Structure 1
Amino acid sequence: MEDSPPAGFRILDLFAGPGGLDVAADVLGHQVTGIEWDTGACATRRKAGMSTFQGDVRRYRAAFFPYAQVLTGGPPCQTFTVAGHGAGRRSLDLVVGYIRRLHKAVRAGDQEWKEIFRTWRGISEELRRKELKAQDVKARKRKVEELRALKRKAVKLRLERLGNSADEVKRLMKSFEDVPRNLDFPDDELDGLLKEFSDLNNEHAVLKSRLEELGDERTGLVLQPLWWVIERSRRPGSEPYEAVVLEQVPAVLPVWEEYAKVLASLGYRTGTQLMHTEAFGVPQTRRRAVLMARLDRAALIDDVRLRPGDLPIVSETHERYQPKGRPASRSKAPFTEPLPMEPPKASLESPKAPWVPMETALRRAREIKPELPERPAFTVISNYGTGGVSEARGRRDHDVPSATITGKVSRNRVVLKGTDEDLERFSPAEAGVLQTFPVAYPWDGNDVSQQIGNAVPPRLALHVLRHVLEPELSGEEARTRLKQATADLEAWEPGKPVDGRKHGDWKGHPLTGR
């Protein structure tokens, strides 16, 4: 007699996107509800049969969903992707400071919910004031940009009228971009235009700096999952989540590390990990920073506070991809590296499989959906430049993993290998497959490429969810479970489309109890 699968959890997914984590949870037997604001992503979710509340996460509260057992999510953190470089570093420091304030309130207030809530309300009000100021600054910045564009056009026209050649005009216009400086031209009209252009450049720089000081409006969003965990753990009458899983770009790892300290003080076993997607069977090189937490009820009973980092890492099942001729490199930025952890006691350690190339993933997809195009040996030419050179487009051949799938995936050229002959570009179904969505995933709504690029790869989510939610499985049991879940993910088909919900539409939903 076969062992029955582990019991399913009721999962609430914040910033759920088109359903990357949700479809992985579905094949593992869990029940997922997502909150997502993007109209296009919500259209895809509805068509895929994914329960969805559409709207801003900040309008919802953990108390609205008392029957959710697990909290997951990927708050938008694009503002941190330039961490270490001005605005990104400042935004990172800002949000870490807010997390530490919350942590101090949790530790000092212990069971005093009013004091903890007062701290959160103060942070929320502070962020709201900054957001309102930022809106005013952005409006002024847009106006300056409009005026600057008009002035630039006037400068160009004047240069042409003064008899400069097209090449001279181009060279001079490029040199003017770095104004301010003392300008002195024999033509009074041109000199006046350039002075006005310089003043607008100066004002634009000041406004840009001011926006960086105020921070991004998404700063408040990255704090939301933490507050939901605190509310469920400290609010009288609430039950803490059994588990928490959060993921984002590598630059967010310091945020997850601060989260882990707070969650540890709330009785969770925690761990953070920088995961290479191709090392988990995704036919794409991509890195994601993941926070994992599992409630330790013994710690709650004994009032024991655990150290962050005591949850074992997720074992890699595939080799990492290393381009030929390129030496292994290590980021110099300390905040992009994972915390050191002890290896898991019951790991999935076994000989690692080779990474999965694009051609293999697309061939498997064609076996399920024969109408996908047969592709000869091909090369994908990225829409992005490499090494800071916009003209130097990155290239990946068919027999290696894809480069990171972004929201510009539809712009990537696909050419016959060894030539410059264009082939058909990737369809949404194919791009989704490279992100490890089922080939039958029903993409819908606007900007499907952006939906695909923003999503967490479902196969990566399979590994993380299985690891956090099914720790009782042994190494061999876990391998068998993952193998079956991976096959189920590839063959997954959408069920009946569902209607979306809005804020306040609680009646009859299994997580609300109303």
Structure 2
Amino acid sequence: MDLFAGPGGLDVAAKGLGLTVNGIEWDDNAYATRLAAGLEGPQGDVRKFHPEDFPDATILAGGPPCQTFTVAGTGAGRRALDTVLKFVRRMADDDDVAADLAELDDERTGLVLEPLRWALDAKKPYDVIVLEQVPSVLPVWNAYAEVLKERGYSVDTDVLRTEEYGVPQTRRRAILIARLNGVAKLPAPTHQPYRKGRRPDPAHRHPSWVDMRDTLDRKEPFVVVSNYGTGGDPKERGRRNWDEPSATVTGKISRNRVMTPDESKELPRFTHAEAGLLQTFPRDYPWSGKDIAQQIGNAIPPLLAKRVLEAALGLAKPPVSKAEPGMFDFAVAR
């Protein structure tokens, strides 16, 4: 059961592992992509659904909207963090917080509590719970952990770096894994961490991070000049060479300039398909509707989701190589 399923980042990973998935998504555009990809689940507001609507689900997953918690967002969630943590405790004590949630400055902040509602309301406890969000939500996941432990779960939480799991992109995500049976443990890294200005260490126990050169079909060297962190000075913009992982893929990826290494000539900017590959979606993923760049930027990278699900379900980890991202076999529905 995938809450806030988006265009299907976690669902692609789950299907690749042979799982059956139902995902709830309210956004018209993301839902259009889901339909084109043949992903199951209703369109609507997660708050209008209940665990009994999906009685066969044994795994609960979710990545609530991050806009109020992310640094680039409104900040309403970060400002309300102490209040949200109190709501977690009240929900654990069977206190109805719905009216108080409605008083928050931004209603999206309260959505971070929806997975807890589902976990607490389920007549039969879920075997496994997997949650992801931006790093600033880690305190909320830690509060979840205390509640879930009281109900017999083993829980592990932390912030993971996507490039350490083979994703050709630096992106940090707060992850929670809970298991009703067995010990919950986050996945161990499979690749080296990226450090600005440093090359991969050939003596490291893990292979190099996966870079943009090994991911995209471009034949000529390039440098990506970021639209972020300028401070008004173009010289201060972040840069990534093609033999490095991409910076975090966001809905504004098309604003990043792709240049020759000496920055004397501008090259074609990243397409939606290329942005999807940097997120490890399949090469032929049927992006549909509008705001496709935003759909891609909002999604969890399927490869990270796959590693997290493998750990959550206690599945054997496959051999690691520098195989291309977008590696999942995926039959597009027609």
Normalised TM-score (structure 2): 0.92
Q: How far apart are residue 401 of structure 1 and its match?
A: 0.5
**Which residue identity lines up with residue 404 of structure 1 in the other structure?**
T
2:244 paired residue among 394, 400, 403: 400
Counterpart residue number, 1:221: 111
Aligned residue number for residue 358 of structure 1: 212
Letter of the 1:62 partner, please give it: P
Aligned CA distance change for structure 1 residues 394 and 82 (closer, same or farther; 3 Å): closer
- Larger Cα-atom Rg: 1
Deviations along 1:80-129, whole A, 9 cap, x unmatched?
Answer: 2249x9745431111111001122x1xxxxxxxxxx2xx23xx102222x
Aligned residue in 1 for 2:135: 250
Query: 1:478 maps to which residue?
Result: 317
Q: SS where residue 229 of structure 2 aligns?
A: strand
SS state at 2:116 partner: helix
Q: Does 1:74 align with 2:63?
A: yes
1:493 paired residue number: 330
Q: Structure 1: 5+ residue runs without aligned partners? A: 1-11, 106-115, 131-213, 233-237, 298-309, 327-349, 364-373, 498-514
Q: CA deviation at 1:325?
A: 6.8
Query: What is the distance in 2 between the residues matched to 1:25 and 1:87?
Result: 32
Task: State the alpha-carbon separation in 2 of the partners of residues 383 and 416 from structure 1.
Answer: 16
| Structure 1 residues 404 and 241: CA distance shift in structure 2, 3 A | same
State whether structure 2 residue 125 is matched by structure 1 residue 274. Answer: no
Question: Could you tell me which of 429, 451, 457 is aligned with 2:295?
Answer: 451
Residue aligning to 1:143: none
Q: Is the 8 A contact 2:214 2:324 kept in 1?
A: no
Query: 2:14 aligns to what?
Result: 25
> For 2:77 and 2:4, how far apart are their aligned partners in 1?
21
Structure-1 separation of matches of 2:185 and 2:290: 39
Specify the alignment match of 2:41 in structure 1: 52
The aligned residue for residue 283 of structure 1 is 168
Partners of 1:82 and 1:215 in 2: how far apart? 17
| Structure (1/2) with the larger helix percentage | 1
TM-score in terms of structure 1 length? 0.61
2:184 to 311, 323, 329: 311
**Partner AA of 2:229 in structure 1:** G
Tell me how far apart the structure 1 counterparts of residues 49 and 83 of structure 2 sit (CA, whole Å): 23
Q: Which runs of 5+ in 2 are unaligned?
A: none
Which of the residues 240, 244, 249 maps onto 2:125? 240
The question of whether the paired residues in 2 share the 8 Å contact of 1:256 and 1:291 is answered with: yes
Shift of 1:362: 1.1
Partner Cα distance (1:318, 1:224) in 2: 33
- Where has structure 1 moved over 4 Å in runs of 4 or more? 85-88, 486-489
Separation of aligned partners in 1, 2:252 and 2:18 = 32
Task: Map 1:270-349 to 2 at 5 A.
Answer: 270-296=155-181, 311-324=184-197
Give a deviation string over 1:267-293, Cα, whole Å, max 9, x none.
111010210000000100010000000
- What displacement does 1:487 show? 7.5
Tell me the amino acid that sits aligned with residue 149 of structure 2: A
Determine if the alignment matches structure 1 residue 430 to structure 2 residue 292: no
Using the TM superposition, give the Cα deviation of residue 396 of structure 1 relative to its aligned residue in structure 2, in angstroms.
0.7
Q: By how many angstroms is 1:389 displaced?
A: 4.5
Counterpart residue identity of residue 223, structure 1: L
- What is the rounded CA distance, in whole Å, between the counterparts of 1:295 and 1:325 in structure 2? 41
Q: Give the counterpart of 2:304 among 435, 454, 460.
A: 460
Partner secondary structure for residue 107 of structure 2: coil
Q: 1:383 aligns with which of 221, 224, 227?
A: 227
- Inter-CA distance 81–488: structure 2 relative to 1 (3 Å threshold): closer
- Aligned AA (1:101): R
Q: Secondary structure at the match of 1:492?
A: coil
**1:144-159 paired onto structure 2 within 5 Å:** none
Specify the code of the residue in structure 1 equivalent to 2:262: G
Q: Which residue of 1 aligns with 2:148?
A: 263
Distance change in 2, residues 1:88/1:218 (3 Å): closer
Alignment RMSD (CA, Å): 2.3
Distance in 1, matches of 2:264 and 2:139, equals 43
Distance 2:260 2:198 in 1: 23
What is the distance in 2 between the residues matched to 1:32 and 1:57? 15
SS at match of 1:31: coil
Aligned residues: 328
Shift of 1:377: 0.4
User: How far, CA to CA, are the matches of 1:398 and 1:264 in structure 2?
Assistant: 44
